[in-house]
Structure 1
């Protein structure tokens, strides 16, 4: 006997909020790292 689970579609708003939650700190970290690295190579 197989059990089938129903998949609830993710709302677009939740998806956008999640990606902003991930990408904003990631972008800040990359920009901060690059600015610190440019100080090293001057």
Structure 2
């Protein structure tokens, strides 16, 4: 509960978390794409 309250108090932290998640997904997708191209 305290974590949710803390996120509600600081929207910048939530934005940073979403941004980090998007970066991780993009990095994983790019790595998979490069691995697929390299193996072909």
Normalised to the residue count of structure 2, the TM-score between the two structures is 0.60
**What is the root-mean-square deviation in Å for CA atoms of aligned residues?**
2.4
Unpaired segments ≥5 residues, structure 1 = 1-6
Count the aligned residue pairs: 35
Give the 4+ runs in structure 1 shifted more than 2 A.
Answer: 12-16
Normalised to the residue count of structure 1, the TM-score between the two structures is 0.58
- Structure number with larger C-alpha Rg: 1
Between the two structures, name the one with larger relative contact order (CA 8 Å, sep ≥ 6): 2
